[in-house]
Structure 1
Amino acid sequence: MQATTAGAVQEIEVKYHVSDEAALLRALDERGVVLSEPVRQDDQAYAPAGWRYGVSKIGVPFARLRTQDGMHLFTVKQPIDNEMACLEHETTVADREQMHAALTTMGYVPTVRIVKSRRSGRWDDAALCLDTVDGLGTFVELEAMVGADMSGLDVQYRLDRLVHSLGVPVQRTTDTYDSLIRDAGELARGA
Structure 2
Amino acid sequence: MQEIEVKYRLRDLPALEQSLAERGLVLSAPITQDDQAYARVDWSYGQSKIGVPFARLRTQDGRHLFTVKTPLVNELACLEHESEVADRDQMHQAIIQMGFRPTVRIVKTRRTAQMAGMELCVDEVEHAGLFLEIEKVLDAGESGAVAQERLDAFARSLGVELERTADTYDSLVRAALV
| Partner residue of 1:86 out of 69, 78, 91 | 78
Corresponding residue number in structure 1 for 2:97: 105
Say if 2:17 and 2:27, in contact at 8 Å, map to a contact too. Answer: no
| Partner residue of 2:125 out of 128, 133, 142 | 133
Corresponding residue number in structure 2 for 1:39: 31
TM-score (norm 1): 0.91
| Partner residue of 2:44 out of 41, 45, 52 | 52
Q: Residues 29-87 of structure 1, C-alpha deviation per residue, up to 9 Å, x if partnerless?
A: 11111221000110000000000000000000000000011100000000001000000
User: Unpaired segments of 5 or more residues in structure 1?
Assistant: 1-8, 187-191
Corresponding residue number in structure 2 for 1:184: 176
CA distance in 1, matches of 2:53, 2:139: 18
Corresponding residue number in structure 1 for 2:69: 77
| Partner residue of 2:15 out of 12, 23, 28 | 23
CA shift, 1:148, in A, is: 4.6
CA distance in 1, matches of 2:119, 2:174: 26
What amino acid is the match of 2:173? Answer: I
User: Unpaired segments of 5 or more residues in structure 2?
Assistant: none
Q: Residues 103-154 of structure 1, C-alpha deviation per residue, up to 9 Å, x if partnerless?
A: 0011100000000000011122201111001111110111110135221000
CA distance in 2, matches of 1:137, 1:52: 24
TM-score (norm 2): 0.98
Point out the more displaced range, 169-178 or 138-147.
138-147
| Partner residue of 1:11 out of 3, 14, 29 | 3
CA distance in 2, matches of 1:156, 1:21: 22
Q: Residues 86-110 of structure 1, C-alpha deviation per residue, up to 9 Å, x if partnerless?
A: 0000000000000000000111000
Corresponding residue number in structure 2 for 1:116: 108
Percent identity over the alignment is 60
What amino acid is the match of 1:103? Answer: I
CA distance in 2, matches of 1:33, 1:73: 27
Q: CA RMSD in A?
A: 0.8
1:174 aligns with 2:162: no
What amino acid is the match of 1:170? Answer: L
Say if 1:34 and 1:122, in contact at 8 Å, map to a contact too. Answer: no
